[in-house]
Structures are given as C-alpha cells and as structure tokens.
Structure 1
Amino acid sequence: MRNRIKVLIVDDSALMRKALRDIVLTDGALEVVGTARDGQDAIDKVKELKPDVITMDINMPVMDGLTSMQHILNDYPEIPIIIISSLSTEGALTTFEALALGAFDYVAKPSGTVSSDIHVVGREIIEKVKLAYKSANRKNLSNRIRARSTTAPRKTAAYSRKSRMVQSNDLSAIVVIGVSTGGPGTLMEVLPQLPSDLKAAVLVVQHMPPTFTSSFARRMAEACAISFKEAEAGDVLANGRGYLAPGGYQLLVHRDGRLLRLSSSPVTQFMPSVNVTMESVLERCGGEKVVGVIMTGMGDDGADAMVKIRKSGGITIAEDESTAIVFGMPQEAINRGGAEIVVPSYKVADEIIKAVNRIQNVQKI
C-alpha cells in the first residue's frame, strides 16, 4: 500500500518495541519504518528514516525521552511526537512537561513502564498516530509559535499565594471549558491568562485518566493567577477560582447552584464528560450566567450542550481550526450552531474575560 503513515517506535524495552510494532501493523494505513532503543538512537533514526510520527518512551538509558524529543523538535518541528508514559504520578508529571515542550499528545501505559497489556490501549495509539499525522502541518505549528511568543502571562500581584487567598465568596458567572486530545498544552496557553479577579468560577473538563488529573491540577495551580485545584465533592463555586474535573467521575453542580459534587453516573464514553458538566451547570444556574468553551479534541463531546447554552442566553466560544490540534470537538460545536464566538487559542482567554464582563454588565442593569 502506498502513502502509508511512517511510524518510528522509541522504547528501551524490546518487549514494548515488539508490542507497539504489532499494534501499529494491525492498521493498513500505518507502517513501522524503524525502532529505537534510547533517546540518542531515536535522534539518529529520525535523521535516517524521516518518519511521519514518533512514539516516544520517557525513561530510557543513554538519553531520556524528554531530552531526545527537544533535539528532534528543534531540527524537525513538523514531526509530531506521541509520548507513551506510565500511569504513575511521576509518569504524569513528566508527561505534562513533555506536552509543554511540544509533544503532540500522550498515551498512558496501563501497567507501568513495561506493560505486557499495552494492547488494551492499542486502538487509542492508532487513533492518535493518525490524528498526529493529520494535524502535522506548518500552518498550525507557526500559529502556535507566534501565539506563544506574543502572549505572556499577565504580571499581576495575583501570582502570589497570599493574594490568591483574598477572595470573596461571590459567584457572578460560571465558565465551563471542555477539551480532549491536545488539551493540556492548549489549557496552558489559556488559563494562565485569566486574571485573579475574574468575576467567575472556572470548571475545566479535560478527558484524562484518573491518575493524571491530580498532577495536572497541581501544575495548573502553579501557572494560574486564579486559584486552581482538582475538584472535590463539597467545593464551593466562587469568583476567581478554578476546578479541574477528576478523571473517572462526572463533575456536577448541586441543586443549590454553588456546591460541586462528583458522580459515577451517567456512564459516558469519557469520564468526565464535557456535555454532562455543561448541562448540569445550565440546569442549576441558568444560561444567562454561563460561558461555554470548547477547544481541541476528537469527537463531539460538549457540542450539544453548547447549543443549549447559547439558546438559553449564555455565551459560547469555540477554538478556531487554525490553532486546534484536533478540530473535532470545536468543529461539531460550530456546525451545530453552538458557537457564538470562534477564535484561535491565543485569543480564547480574552474572549472569556469579555464574556464574563458582558454578564456582569447585564446583571447591573
């Protein structure tokens, strides 16, 4: 078959290299052009084989995956790299560092560094390899580079821990942000741009394994001006506070419209589900206080809820195709009429602030 996607597999375990090779070869659209046993070997193989997509292990001898990835992306920024990482806390932290450095996405190994059951995430690996290849275009990359160079975190006193604690218990609006594939890196572009005095609570629903969300929440807490944490049952929504939905649960708002609660139902393809959280907020708080945001991700989670929010008087924002790592979720929201505002990722924070101010002005009338 001609024009197959060329994949380079990088892992120090011979067992993992074989298992990953077998997974990739189950799809006729893909081919394995080579394997590498460590980071330095990967650099050499990239120069020789010119792969379309790379799967990269993290913990390897000679040169680790993070270092290797930085060398590769410096010379070949157009080649997407998918991190294959363990589900441990250490693995999660390293994975987020890799995403911040430019990795396309990650797949979590189900049972440690050497996962004999890696086949259980085989379909996910194949899907992400194809998405990585499809998304690997210079226009998208150049937009993101330009965005990161022209948007710096707002330098305010909000970055001190002391100032974060000085908050009222007022709740003027609720911003619900939904993301999936490519989400961690995109959220790191958006959330740090929100000011500490934002007159809204921010709920973030990122499709992510349960063991990853606590680590990601801590990382976001260090980067954000608003206070930020992994959501827990009983948390009280308030202005200037952000909450990340924990993996494996649905994030809901209690009937009083202020308390958060977690639930193992309804069971959906993704737990948490953007759609479920948005509809809960809409039901409990009313559309006129809600800002819905959909950014990069495959599938259509959140698209229907965005339509409902907009029809109920809320404000809805979708990421533009020019910066979306994967345009699936925002495209569905746009096509169904659920996006009032469509902007690239580097303008999403400003649009959130404008939307919250719009809600504030209406409430003052």
Structure 2
Amino acid sequence: MKKVLIVDDSSFVRKILSKIISQLGYTVDTAKDGEEAVKKILHNDYDLVTLDIEMPVKNGIEVLKEIMDVKPTRVVIISSYTTENADITFKALDMGAITYITKPGKLGVDLKKIEEDIKETVKEVSELPLSRLQTRTEIKEPSAKNYPSEKKYILIGASTGGPKHIEDILKALPENYPNPICIVQHMPKDFIPTFVKRLNSVSKLKVTEAKDGEPVDTGKVIIGKGGYHLNFEKKNGKVVCRLKSDNNNSLFVPSVDEMFKSALKAIEPEKIVGVLLTGIGSDGAEGLLELRKAGAITIAESEETAIVYGMPREAYNKGAVKKLLPFPQIIKEIIKIGADRDVQKAQSR
C-alpha cells in the first residue's frame, strides 16, 4: 500500500487532502510545518510528499534543500496559483519537485474542480521511478548548420514534467535555428509570464507569450497564452496566431489538441512537426493523429524518460506517432529538422 505525507500548516488543507488521497486507498500521514516534515521524511519511506511552500518554522524551499541530497523524494508542490507564487514554485521545480497542483480552497466549488486533478497527479507521480528525479538533459550546442530556406513549424505540447523539458529543448537550440516553435504547456495562466521570462533567460531565441495576430516567424518561440486556445490563420501569405476563447468547457485552456488541429487549417502538413511530451491525461493525442493522417511528422516521448507517460501513451495507442523517442533524442531531432532532409521521410513505428 502506498504511503503519502501531506505537509501544510493549514489543518483545513491537511484534512481535505487526506480525505481526497485516502480515497485512492493510500495510507496518509501529515506534518504541520517544514521541521516536522523533514524529521518524518528522513525516518520514513513515503511514496510521495505533497508540500506547501509558505509555512512557519521551515518553509517548503528549506525542506527541499534538506531532503533532496540525502533522501531523494517524489514531491508535489501545493500552490496557490498567483503571479507572486510563480517564481517560488519554479524554484521548487529546479530543486527537484516534480510538479504542482492547486491548493484546495475553502469553497466546495473549488474543491470539486481540483479533486480529480489531485487524485490523478498523486497516482501518476507516486509511480515515478526515483532514478528520474533531478535529471536534466544537457545537449552540447551544435556547430552552426546551413539550414535550408524552407522552414518547418515545430508544435510542442506538454503537461506534467513539461517545464523542465521545454527549458532543456530551448537551451540546446542554436541562435540561427530557422524553424518557428509554438508551445502549449498546461500551466496556470498567472504562471505563464514567469515561465516566458525563465525561458528567455536560457534560450538564444526570442520567447514570447502568444498575441492575437502575431506572425509565426523564423527565430521565434511562442508560448500559448493562459486562458486562450492557440490557433493559427493564414493572412496575406503569412501564418499568424489567433487567440480563441474556450466555448467547449475544455479541461485545459490552452489545449494541445486545439493547437495541433488548428495548424492544419493554416500550414501545409508537410511543413508541420508535432511533438508530444510528458503529461497526465490524453490532451494532444487526437490532434497528433490528425497531423499524422495529413502527412505531418509526429514525435512523442517514450516511457523511459517521460515523467508521466499518459499523453504520449494515448497518442501512441491511437497510431498517431511516427517516432517514439526518449527525450534526449527528441532534442536532437528538433535540432536537425530543417537541416536534414531525411527526417522528412515518412516512417512507420
């Protein structure tokens, strides 16, 4: 039976999380502050720790500092989704936390909206091999390539575990990389500006949050804007972004499926490369299948490196994936696309 430690200074939050997680059949333990949490983590074997950031005595960042080197642990941050909390949440991810989920509010409506997300996240992350904690992919920057003038459009979708992957991809791309990149990362809308700022600090390419009517040009990395779907339109011979309000009560806004499907309305399929990375659920699988059927290159992350294999698995099972690759190989494929004509050949799995 799996064992989970809930760390939060709010007795209400501890009670609510205990109730939700125990419904999975897991044994639940609690700690009211960081100091108690460190003692319990070092003397017990937990399959997962949910960790509040702002606590008395010892905060969540201090807890991560103390435990990760001596006892690597699967940690999920419990966060209030505000712009102010974005920086500290990303810092926690840098220190080894795997992902973050919404802190339950005091209104029943908030709890109903996040209960399933908590259950699914806890269930998936508790299965993650400890060997994958703190792993980052460093690809040596390639020597300058002679890229052809005909560009590809690289469309990337990710959820749980995605922020670190996306950082690693952008770190590896040379400054003369010709292919525009559009990314949908499941993330609270208030976190997106901080995420864009972080990406700009590591990327040689310009990273922006999507704006309606923005051209999708060479040398650009465009991140889907929180609260809107990232769509595309052909206008005066150029591909531009269109921000679309959600009318379908979608689980994720922006949605990876929406981005993939919309691309086919504005871009020739042979110029599209769809990439589906780590993540919980199935978003992106249907869209990737449409891309493959139309003749686009489709790539998904394999189970051996995905933090959560949910989204890539769904796509693979649907027959949507031409190339199922470990993450380091995906980075290499993205680098060479456009320089290596051979990658354009259709491949069967």
TM-score between the two structures when normalised by the length of structure 2: 0.88
In structure 2, relative to structure 1, the CA distance for the partners of 1:219 and 1:360 (3 Å cut) is farther
Partner amino acid, structure 1, of 2:246: S
Match for residue 109 of structure 1 among 74, 93, 103: 103
Aligned length: 335
Tell me how far 1:46 sits from its aligned partner. Answer: 0.9
Aligned equivalent of 2:290:
308
Aligned equivalent of 1:119:
111
- Residues 1:205 and 2:184 are matched in the alignment: yes
Partner amino acid, structure 2, of 1:300: S
SS of match in other structure, 1:254: strand
Task: Note the 1:282-321 alignment, pairs <5 A.
Answer: 282-321=264-303
Aligned equivalent of 2:347:
none
Task: Note the 1:157-176 alignment, pairs <5 A.
Answer: 172-176=151-155
SS of match in other structure, 1:213: helix
- Residues 1:92 and 2:79 are matched in the alignment: no
Residues 23, 119 of structure 1: 8 Å contact kept = no
Task: Note the 1:1-365 alignment, pairs <5 A.
Answer: 3=1, 5-25=2-22, 27-32=23-28, 34-77=29-72, 79-109=73-103, 119-120=111-112, 121-135=114-128, 137-141=129-133, 145=135, 148=137, 151=138, 154=141, 172-256=151-235, 257-267=238-248, 268-358=250-340
Distance (Å, rounded) in 2 between the aligned partners of 1:351 and 1:35: 44
Tell me how far 1:61 sits from its aligned partner. Answer: 2.1
Partner amino acid, structure 2, of 1:200: N
Partner amino acid, structure 1, of 2:78: I
Which runs of 5 or more residues in structure 1 are unaligned?
Answer: 158-169
Partner amino acid, structure 2, of 1:154: E
Choose between structure 1 and 2: higher helix proportion: 1
SS of match in other structure, 2:239: coil
Residues 13, 104 of structure 2: 8 Å contact kept = no
SS of match in other structure, 1:356: coil
Which runs of 5 or more residues in structure 2 are unaligned?
Answer: 345-349
* 1:264-306 deviation digits (Å, cap 9, x = unpaired): 1352221111111111112211111111100101222212222
TM-score between the two structures when normalised by the length of structure 1: 0.85
Distance (Å, rounded) in 2 between the aligned partners of 1:133 and 1:306: 28
Distance (Å, rounded) in 2 between the aligned partners of 1:250 and 1:70: 37
SS of match in other structure, 2:69: helix
Distance (Å, rounded) in 1 between the aligned partners of 2:140 and 2:211: 27
Tell me how far 1:97 sits from its aligned partner. Answer: 1.5
Partner amino acid, structure 2, of 1:89: T
Partner amino acid, structure 2, of 1:284: A
* 1:208-237 deviation digits (Å, cap 9, x = unpaired): 121111221111111111110111112111
SS of match in other structure, 1:93: helix
Tell me how far 1:122 sits from its aligned partner. Answer: 2.2
Tell me how far 1:258 sits from its aligned partner. Answer: 1.7
In structure 2, relative to structure 1, the CA distance for the partners of 1:301 and 1:229 (3 Å cut) is same
SS of match in other structure, 1:246: coil
Residues 291, 356 of structure 1: 8 Å contact kept = no
Partner amino acid, structure 1, of 2:203: C
Distance (Å, rounded) in 2 between the aligned partners of 1:353 and 1:55: 36
SS of match in other structure, 1:18: helix
